[in-house]
A and B are shown apart, each in its own frame.
Chain A
Amino acid sequence: MATTSSTHTVPLLERRLLFVTGKGGVGKSTVAASLALLAANRGKRVLVCDVDAKGDLADFFETAPLSFHEREVLPHLFGMSMDTEESLKQYLSLQMHVPFVTRLGPIAKMFEFVAVAGPGVKEIVTIGKFCWEVKEHHYDLVVVDASPTGHIVGQLASPQAINELVQVGIVRNQTQWMLDILGDPAQTGVVVVATPEEMPVSETIDLSHRLREETNVDLAAVVVNRVLPELFGRAEEELFHQLADEPEPLAEALGGDPVPLLDAAELAIRLRRTRTEHLERLREGIDASIPLLYVPYLFVKAHGLRATHKVSEALSEELGY
């Protein structure tokens, strides 16, 4: 099932900035955490960032809630969460040398207000922070647990939007270097997470088109999460149906009622079949050069860091490490 990235130019973890997105509920944070862990285990210095201040990325490392100030959560792996107000402060003092940052407090509320209204203001403060970490070479790789599919395009397109809307001022001058980083596939890529279900697949296909049409950011890979195992090949399935139609021999050999077991296998086959249709639709719907990375459904008791390790192992295999 493995698809290597041979046709795609830049290996996923060799990039510098990855935005991991996906429809709600597909395991976006799990994949972001796992990619970061995998890169860190391979010796890279990694920053993983939760773009949602109220997000739960920290749970995937079983660590205390993350804050805007990054901290090492595992060896070589640093975690933070986005806070637009803090980011604006940092942005103003580092990028624009605005002297009265201390006086920002009273007007921070006002900023929130304009940030709401000004197209792309909040987004650019967010995106700007990640681009800046890349530009300053603080980390080998920055993995962003980004906004869901519905909002990611607006966020990634914000430097361009600002560039068009704001004719003068410091912000405009600041957008060009961000655009350079975001638009360079050797540095930046989007990873879309999907499950083999109807809506996640449809959203992934839509997003792949929108990324191309509305942003200059490269789609680096699609991670298909919770892929159910294929139980049987054709000959095996035929025999299985024979067993199900005629369960007595098995009942005798087993010394008990095999029907619940056969029913469970039947359930597994049917669940897998529906999902296979969506997988095929996904493969047909996105450009053939985009690697699909498959992560199996976890039938083990795994949550928190253990699940992150498991998914990271699966991704490692899919990436050919």
Chain B
Amino acid sequence: LTARQKAAAEGRPSRLDALITSKEIVISCGSGGVGKTSISAALGAMTALRHGGKVLVVTVDPAKRLAAALGIEGFGNQARRVPNEAFTAVGVKPRGELWAAMLDTKQSWDDLVRRHAPTPRRADEILSNRLYTNITGRFVQSHEYIAMERLYELHSSGQYDLIVVDTPPTRNAIDFLEAPSRMADFFSSRFLKILAAPSRSRVLGLATRPFTNVADRILGNQFLGDIAEFFQLFESMAPGFVARARAVEHVLHDRRTTFLVVSTLEANPVHEAEFFLQSLDQMGFHLGAVVLNKVLPTWLLADEPARLADRLREDRATIAAAVATRLGAGERLTERVLGEVADAFTNYQLVAKREAEQQAQLAATPEVLVSVPAFDSDIHDLRGLLRIGEALFS
């Protein structure tokens, strides 16, 4: 049985559009450059078109033209509705609404601080601390965490029927899955207390002396003081942060949440996708589908044209002579063109074969495997997104 048949036998949806109906959150992940943003936007657009309801696409770092097409360029965290006219302009009438938002990391952190600081004054103190920007910008997986946090915020607002999130590109794909629990650990950690302590507790001060000695020599007293002050401020937000991070983690594990693993069929992205599939499984997250993007057409795999390409290359001169007379073209010119034609097929067949090999590897696990063809131009408008959407839902 193929994975698809097995899925059908077990009553699991074997199509992406069927799967979407029972989900409220779709998180798409995969390595950089595979087209996650376009796939997420296409899925959102198609769902709004076919299924109705209010669909929100949250993207992290969209290409400028795509952001412009979605109408979110320069709007930060604010969600904006893609006007119906954008759909009617390409000749379709959506059943639902398509909304889009970009993730503004800095803004999201500021919001978070305002929410969890015990008093507005404390919030101001934190926001004006000179280490704050630096720290939030570089926090372990701060970007990853804030993406998940923002997702939680949007989901719990109850405004949307479906939220599709495009995850930030990470070297290590599971970083953002672990981000909420790491954030919770960080804030409940005794290190935070120790770091915040030296200036106010003699006992803890003594305990951390070896550390502060080294740190003093390396960084200078004043810098360490700054850090301590910052952590004291931050510590006051710990209870709120921990509770929140646990809640975010809970939503990610909820069965209304599903993950899409997006990959092209090149070796490295496939390698990462495999690793990602493994991690999702181990960590108990729900895998919705594997989306293969920019896939070359299967007709490139046929044997007969390959044989003809070889013949064309070998007998180029003879064939060119015959064709040139019929077409009224120069023989040398024809020969060059035919040579290139033969090479083009051979070259792209090699790539297509490599892709097929990679696909066979990936096909072993997932319930739903969707292929999106390589389009000959960049996708940067709703028309293009809906073309991808058609492929996703077919």
A171 to B220, CA, bound (A): 8
**A299–B347 CB distance below 8 A:** yes
Interface residues on A, range: 35 or more
Query: Is B329 in the interface zone, CB < 8 Å from A?
Result: yes
Q: Which residue of the partner chain, among A96, A103, A168, A198, contacts B220 with CB atoms under 8 Å?
A: A168
Q: A114-B215, A243-B337, A263-B299 are in contact. Are A199 and B63 (CB under 8 A)?
A: yes
8 A Cβ contacts from A104-145 to B: 104, 106-107, 109-110, 113-114, 116-121
A167 to B224, CA, bound (A): 11
8 A Cβ contacts from A230-277 to B: 231-232, 235-236, 239-240, 242-243, 246, 249-250, 252-258, 260-265, 267-268, 270-271, 273-274
A26 to B340, CA, bound (A): 26
Which residue among A52, A239, A270 has the maximum number of chain B CB atoms within 10 Å of its CB? A239
**B219–A265 CB distance below 8 A:** no
8 A Cβ contacts from B159-174 to A: 169, 171-172
Query: Is B3 in the interface zone, CB < 8 Å from A?
Result: no
**A258–B191 CB distance below 8 A:** no
Q: Which residue of the partner chain, among A100, A165, A256, A268, contacts B308 with CB atoms under 8 Å?
A: A256
Q: A24-B171, A240-B337 are in contact. Are A270 and B376 (CB under 8 A)?
A: yes
**B32–A271 CB distance below 8 A:** no
Q: Which residue of the partner chain, among B31, B219, B296, B299, contacts A169 with CB atoms under 8 Å?
A: B219
Q: Is the interface of B mostly helix, strand, loop or mixed?
A: helix
**A166–B219 CB distance below 8 A:** yes
Query: Is A303 in the interface zone, CB < 8 Å from B?
Result: yes
**A167–B220 CB distance below 8 A:** yes
**B227–A114 CB distance below 8 A:** yes
8 A Cβ contacts from B32-86 to A: 32-34, 63-65
**B350–A114 CB distance below 8 A:** no
Task: Using CB atoms, name the residue of chain A closest to B135.
Answer: A117
A161 to B318, CA, bound (A): 69
Which residues of the other chain, A, contact B216 by a CB distance below 8 angstroms?
169
Query: Is B351 in the interface zone, CB < 8 Å from A?
Result: yes
| Chain B 299-324 per-residue mask, 1 if CB under 8 angstroms from chain A, else 0 | 11010110111011000001100110
Q: How far is the CB of B152 from chain A (nearest CB, A)?
A: 23
Q: Which residue of the partner chain, among B32, B309, B322, contacts A261 with CB atoms under 8 Å?
A: B309
Q: How far is the CB of A20 from chain B (nearest CB, A)?
A: 15
A163 to B138, CA, bound (A): 18
**B138–A116 CB distance below 8 A:** yes
Q: Which residue of the partner chain, among B308, B334, B347, contacts A254 with CB atoms under 8 Å?
A: B308
**B218–A92 CB distance below 8 A:** yes
Q: How far is the CB of A288 from chain B (nearest CB, A)?
A: 23
Q: How far is the CB of A29 from chain B (nearest CB, A)?
A: 9
**A165–B223 CB distance below 8 A:** yes
**A117–B227 CB distance below 8 A:** yes
Q: A25-B34, A26-B33, A166-B223 are in contact. Are A98 and B214 (CB under 8 A)?
A: yes
Q: How far is the CB of A302 from chain B (nearest CB, A)?
A: 10
A170 to B227, CA, bound (A): 17
**B345–A24 CB distance below 8 A:** no
A79 to B109, CA, bound (A): 39
Q: How far is the CB of B230 from chain A (nearest CB, A)?
A: 7
Query: Is B195 in the interface zone, CB < 8 Å from A?
Result: yes
- A residues sitting closer than 8 Å to B (CB atoms) are 23-26, 52, 54-55, 92, 96, 98, 100, 103-104, 106-107, 109-110, 113-114, 116-121, 148, 150, 154, 161, 165-172, 195, 197-200, 202, 231-232, 235-236, 239-240, 242-243, 246, 249-250, 252-258, 260-265, 267-268, 270-271, 273-274, 299-301, 303
- Ranked nearest first, the 7 interchain pairs of A and B with the lowest CB-CB distance are A24-B32, A25-B33, A169-B220, A119-B134, A270-B376, A249-B326, A260-B305
- B residues sitting closer than 8 Å to A (CB atoms) are 31-34, 63-65, 130-131, 134-135, 137-140, 169, 171-172, 191, 194-195, 208, 210-211, 214-223, 227, 230-231, 266-269, 296-297, 299-300, 302, 304-305, 307-309, 311-312, 318-319, 322-323, 326-327, 329, 333-334, 336-338, 340-342, 344-345, 347-351, 354, 374, 376-378, 380
